[in-house]
Structure 1
Amino acid sequence: MQKSDSVVIIPTYNEKENIENIIRTVFSLEHRFDILIIDDGSPDGTANIVKNLMAVEFKDRLHLVERQGKLGLGTAYIAGFKWALEHGYEYIFEMDADFSHDPNDVPRLYKACAEDGADVAIGSRYVTGVNVVNWPMGRVLMSYYASKYVRIVTGIPVHDTTAGFKCYRRRVLETIDLDAIRFKGYAFQIEMKFTAYKLGFKIKEVPVIFVNRQLGTSKMSGGIFGEALFGVMRLRWASICGKIKAKK
């Protein structure tokens, strides 16, 4: 079977209710997308479900990296990016396991990069208004105005600066110094977008509808928002000081 040019990275922690369904849904798409699960020691057996699927059905398409304990979303993605680059993928995706990101939108992000010339494609909740379903109003407002705040402070021309549904072309992740990315939580998504923007890459927002998870437990916390609030100012200062540079 021909190797895929694309891999979808899905970080997991206690996602046993969702993991098999999300894997099967991605694999049912017309274009072949491989999947890399980064599991942070889920005590609910998420990794065992993945291992079983790898052994029985998806040996060549499904991959797993197991880590010991919750080490943070940012470090999970950095580990996934490095793995994807080592394995030769051209298009590298970020996606949640809980169906808040619709797998049927993955081909649209792929098209934005593979056919429309984008270096980074963002599944955007806010480029055409507010497209969020089943979130409490307080959380919607916090997320929406957080993105507004990031745009004002950094000047990045992106409506959904905190989005975690993305496709990168390989050259973006090869250019960014991944070891210099400092944030682990919510601010990680902002830092990656801002760094790509400052390095001159073309970013395109693709409108999507974000649906709050139906199964499992959210991993969001107040500390994550705090990191983003103060992290944005640090990013702006780093930019002013000329510290955001391509990997040597």
Structure 2
Amino acid sequence: MAPSDSATPGPRTIVIVPTYCEIDSLEHVVLGVREAVPSAHVLVVDDNSPDGTGQLADDLAARDAKVAALHRSAKDGLGRAYLAGFSWAIEHGFDRIVEMDADGSHRPADLPALLAALDDGADAAIGTRWMPGGAVTNWPWHRRLISRAGTAYARLMLRSRLRDLTSGFRAFERSALEAIDLQHVQGAGYVFQIEVASDLERLGLRVDEVPITFIERESGRSKMSTGIVFEAIGWVTKTGLTPRR
């Protein structure tokens, strides 16, 4: 049950943080969000992590009324975790919904800039690495190349103006997510990010890009896999070649 914000003016904001084996970084991320935007709530969506991340989420929630935990029965893809979190946030009446990684790659210090873009009238704001002011740290050259090439291909095929379609640090007005019709979002892996961004543009909603610094995780292993990459390429190609109505 989400606590009331009757004493806090302005839109009710919640940050969705999906987790799977993020026990080393989760507390730092949650505390960072609460410090960067004290009025914001945090929802940890855990996919039955075997390392105790889910229990840590419960402990954090017990210590802070603005932190909640949503437990899913099994690992089912990043997109599915976000959709579960979005549905929970909408059901509990939040006005602004943010998505953010749990591994420390997204800096809580960049969160106010994303929310400021919504204050300025954007329907959604994407934290962008590949724009003036954006940066990536601790990434080898081949990771940069893959990311930039994948983004360029997606922009071309989808006729998108956005410069970082795969970024997972985003803020949405509730109305923007409701306009997408989340029940029809297909992507389960990282293609979820591309699909949602493409839907926002297709609907003519205002999407602002905000420069962020992306920091490669220091602990644990990346969840990127060949299957996830091919899922994204396949969806982008099929969508790009399908005539628009």
- Place the TM-score, normalised by the shorter chain, in its bin: over 0.9
* Letter in structure 2 aligned against 1:22: V
User: What is the Cα deviation at residue 237 of structure 1?
Assistant: 4.1
What is the CA-CA distance between 1:225 and the residue it aligns to? Answer: 0.9
Assess if the C-alpha contact under 8 Å between 2:37 and 2:111 holds in 1: no
User: Residues 24 and 98 (structure 1 numbering): CA distance in 2 closer, same or farther, change over 3 Å?
Assistant: same
2:144 is the counterpart of 1:140: yes
Counterpart AA for 2:51: D
Matches within 5 A, 1:179-194: 179-194=183-198
- Is residue 2:92 matched to residue 1:76? no
| Separation (CA, whole Å) in 2 of partners of 1:109 and 1:66 | 27
Equivalent in 150, 155, 159 of residue 159 of structure 2: 155
Q: What residue is the counterpart of 2:50 in the other structure?
A: 43
The residue aligned with 1:245 is none
Aligned length: 238
Unaligned runs of 5+ in 1: 243-248
Question: What is aligned with 1:219?
Answer: 223
Counterpart in 1 of 2:95? 90
**What is the deviation of 1:52?**
1.3
Q: Distance in 2 between matches of 1:67 and 1:133?
A: 32
1:209 counterpart residue number: 213
Q: Which amino acid aligns with 2:54?
A: A
Q: Distance in 1 between matches of 2:219 and 2:13?
A: 27
Q: Offset of 1:131 from its aligned partner?
A: 1.7
Cα distance change, pair 7–123 in 1 and its aligned pair in 2 (3 A):
same
CA contact 2:176–2:200 (8 Å) conserved in 1 = yes
- Compared with structure 1, are the counterparts of its residues 231 and 141 closer, same or farther at alpha carbon in structure 2 (3 Å cutoff)? same
2:58 and 2:177 mapped to 1: Cα distance? 27
Q: Is it true that 1:52 corresponds to 2:56 in the alignment? A: no
Q: Which residue, 15, 25, 30 being the options, matches 2:22?
A: 15
Instruction: Give the TM-score taking structure 2 as reference length.
Output: 0.93
Identity %: 41
Moved >2 Å (runs of 4+): 1-4, 234-238
Deviation of 1:230 after TM superposition, in Å, equals 1.1
Q: What does residue 104 of structure 1 align with? A: 109
| Matched AA of 1:107 | P
* Paired residue type of 1:122: I
Matched residues in 1 for 2:231 and 2:24: separation?
A: 29
Q: In the alignment, which residue of structure 2 is the partner of 1:121?
A: 125
1:132 aligned partner, one-letter code: V
Gaps of 5+ in 2: none
Tell whether the 8 Å contact from 2:134 to 2:212 is kept in structure 1 after alignment.
Answer: no
TM-score scaled by length of structure 1: 0.92
Q: Contact 1:54–1:63 (CA<8 Å) still a contact in 2?
A: yes
CA contact (8 A) 1:191 1:235 kept: no
Read off the aligned partner of 2:130 and give its amino acid letter. Answer: Y
2:15 partner amino acid: V
Residue 31 of structure 1 deviates from its aligned partner by 4.2
Tell me how far apart the structure 1 counterparts of residues 208 and 112 of structure 2 sit (CA, whole Å). Answer: 14
